[in-house]
Chain A
Amino acid sequence: MKKATYIILIALLLLLFVADVALGSVYISFTELWDVFLGAPDATNAYIITQLRLPRAVMAVLTGAGLAIAGMLMQTLFRNPLAGPFVLGISSGAGLGVAISIMGGSLLGFSFVSGFGLIASSIAGSLAVFLLIILISLRIKDTMGLLIIGLMVGSLSSAVVGILQYFSPSEQLRRYVFWGLGSLGNLTWSEITLIGILVIISLAGLLLIIKPLNALLLGETYARSLGINITQTRWIIISITCILAGSITAFAGPIAFIGLAVPHIARLLMSSMDHKKLIPLVIIIGAALLLACDLVAQLPFSNYSLPINAVTSLVGAPLVIWLIVKKRTLRF
């Protein structure tokens, strides 16, 4: 992987960021955009740029990078190309929490859920699954067991969600469906700061486990023979993944596909499997891809926009297919 490729990718990331801020439903020219930061701006334009588009673009960067890293960690831990950030059941737990707060309202005696209520219940759901997974990981020796447990948690939660949906009026059903479609918008700067801190802490935690991650690729027995503490490594990987996936899902809903696809794209682009090189690439591509998806989802210059979850798959799936066909093999 040459340095030039990195520079091109970083330039692309910056370009996409600027484009995501500059383009939207309302046309704001570059001179007006300039005014917003360095001149005397129109109040509405300034609000649209600084309170609507800029937070959304920053959220796209954090979400793209965070989910891509979480996906990479899960693929490495399970040595499974199909693993993604939600494979442990984090999004199922969050979805169950949100479903109970939106649709269980009539049973529990409240009828309206605020945005903050949704975030709190999503965090509660993710946290419950996280604690369950940690407790189970203490008991079982086989890492693959966790994969099955994640699937079971997903199954359990979708059953409960199904029952709740069956008894819910259409208005509440709609809110839950909308939550599931994901959204990077409507976040305040303080919420963005909180997610930013969590993502940065998680990424810093990665520095502790770069060597063990590389060893894990060769198998747990081999890693153990290299003197790697498998239990401790597993703990750190699970914690980082849960913090990333849980906090992002709480604020943006279950954003699909990015976490699964980006690590593959990164591995296809570079020749080495070394996590020291893979991690920065995954972060850059994750952020750039989600920015690009958000740009498409905003349908610039039209009055409408698309749900982000639909766009990530629409853009991401053909990209992965194309890369695999071009390289003729999935590097894993």
Chain B
Amino acid sequence: MKRLVFLSFLCLSLIFGSCKTDNPAAPASAIVVTDTLEVKYATGFDIQKTENGYRLTINNPWPSSTDTLQLDLNRDATIGDVQIPVQKFIATSTTHIPPLVLLDEADKLIGFPDTDYISSSVMRERINAGHVEDLGANETVNLERTISLEPDLVMGYGIDADNPTYQSMMDAGIPVLYNGDWTEAHPLGRAEWIKVFGILFDKEKEAFEIFKQIETDYLAAKASVEELDKPTVIAGATWKDIWYLPYGNSWQGTLINDAGGDYIYKDTNGSGSLSYNIEKVLKDAQQADYWIAPSQYTSYNQMLADNSSYKLFEAFQNKVLYTFALRKGATGGVVYYEEASMRPDLVLKDLISIFHGQASTGKLYFFDPLEE
């Protein structure tokens, strides 16, 4: 009896085990690299042209990783890891949505974890029509549902080297691309990830044109304020008596600087966020002219109820606080979290309007003045 059980297990494992090997990829050495595409600001990826496709190298799949990951994209299904253009795509972060919309490839998205976070009206129409499968709550992606959708590619992101869900997907034969846009410090570096989306959907030319336009707009806006006076700027808010702020060299810090703002902590360097004791910020920033992105607060009264120290700040007294938390999509997702990475030009123009006195004209895209 025991032997019978053992044998049937053996048979079962042979049947299921064989699933994995039915699609052998061509060895990487057979693919000839012909050219390298230009990547100006982003440090997280490199793209090489091959005979009938691209070779994509992800340099930092997760922060402080020592590995690089390589994906061969090819128009021929029998060569490489992923056939392009990708037809069935799964994304895992709202920052992956705007590039799809910009490239007019929104119809390729078939799954997303917790679709309520998506705000893009184009994508919401498709979600409401039932074209995008909800893959689970928040960041947790349901493995079985994902595998059953048979996607051509899953775009994930890794906080660290421990990503069992993505590993299981790869074991099941689904290619996974780690998107590291959020680790890019330069605003244009994050936007440049549209080039990765471009080659996935075989729209290299379009992606490069879109990025060129964003870059031109960004640099022109930046140049327009270089001669102007620099108002001082403070950011963030407290939890109890600790104040959380962006580092000077961070994505937000660079944007404030490029918008002609004099960020109080522009000389700080690091990753993550600064956490200063409120005493220090009180000493340093009481006279700051503007205050942007005060955490999740949307009104002055909310802020005062939480911490009466806020009223000592001149920016608070003059009511020049601006938040991105008020612009929300139809199902509650914050538009800024979705689009800001890909559209640094729009963030920059908003900040320039705020810092240089044109905010009242009502043309802000992401930001609003705080409510009473």
Which residues of A are at the interface with B, using a C-beta cutoff of 8 A? 24-26, 44, 47-48, 51-52, 56, 106, 111-112, 114-116, 166-171, 175, 178, 183, 185-186, 188, 298, 303-305
- Known A-B contacts A115-B306, A169-B138, A171-B296; the reply to A48 vs B241 at CB < 8 A is no
B140's contact among A47, A166, A303, by CB below 8 Å, is which? A166
Contact across chains for B241 and A114 when beta carbons are under 8 A apart: no
Contacts of B307 in A (CB 8 A): 115, 186
Q: How far is the CB of B59 from chain A (nearest CB, A)?
A: 24
Which residues of B are at the interface with A, using a C-beta cutoff of 8 A? 137-140, 238-242, 275-280, 282-283, 286, 296, 298, 302, 305-309, 312, 332
- CA separation between A7 and B242, bound complex, in Å? 36
Contact across chains for A47 and B241 when beta carbons are under 8 A apart: no
Contacts of A111 in B (CB 8 A): 332
Q: How far is the CB of A29 from chain B (nearest CB, A)?
A: 14
Contacts of A56 in B (CB 8 A): 241
Contact across chains for A25 and B332 when beta carbons are under 8 A apart: no
Contact across chains for A114 and B306 when beta carbons are under 8 A apart: yes
Contact across chains for B286 and A44 when beta carbons are under 8 A apart: yes
Contact across chains for A44 and B282 when beta carbons are under 8 A apart: yes
- Known A-B contacts A115-B307, A188-B308; the reply to A52 vs B137 at CB < 8 A is no
22 inter-chain pairs at a CB distance below 8 angstroms, sorted by A residue, are A24-B277, A25-B277, A26-B279, A26-B283, A47-B282, A47-B312, A48-B282, A48-B283, A52-B241, A52-B278, A106-B332, A111-B332, A112-B296, A112-B298, A114-B306, A115-B306, A166-B140, A183-B241, A186-B241, A186-B307, A298-B277, A305-B277
Inter-chain pairs besides A26-B282, A171-B296, A186-B241, 5 sampled, C-beta below 8 Å: A25-B279, A47-B282, A112-B298, A170-B139, A186-B307
Contacts of A26 in B (CB 8 A): 279-280, 282-283
Contacts of A171 in B (CB 8 A): 296
Label chain A's interface by main secondary structure.
Answer: loop
Contact across chains for B309 and A178 when beta carbons are under 8 A apart: no
Contact across chains for A51 and B242 when beta carbons are under 8 A apart: no
- CA separation between A106 and B283, bound complex, in Å? 37
Task: Give the residue name and chain of the B residue nearest to A175 (CB).
Answer: B239
- Known A-B contacts A44-B286, A185-B240; the reply to A304 vs B137 at CB < 8 A is no
Contacts of A51 in B (CB 8 A): 308-309
Contact across chains for B275 and A304 when beta carbons are under 8 A apart: yes
Q: How far is the CB of A211 from chain B (nearest CB, A)?
A: 41
Contact across chains for A303 and B306 when beta carbons are under 8 A apart: no
- CA separation between A105 and B357, bound complex, in Å? 37
- Known A-B contacts A114-B302, A188-B308; the reply to A52 vs B279 at CB < 8 A is yes
- CA separation between A231 and B302, bound complex, in Å? 46
- CA separation between A314 and B286, bound complex, in Å? 34
- CA separation between A304 and B243, bound complex, in Å? 10
Contacts of A114 in B (CB 8 A): 302, 305-306
Contact across chains for A178 and B239 when beta carbons are under 8 A apart: yes
Contacts of A168 in B (CB 8 A): 138
Contact across chains for A115 and B279 when beta carbons are under 8 A apart: no
Task: Give the residue name and chain of the A residue nearest to B308 (CB).
Answer: A188
Q: 8 smallest A-B Cβ distances: which pairs? A: A185-B241, A183-B240, A25-B277, A25-B279, A115-B306, A26-B279, A186-B240, A167-B137
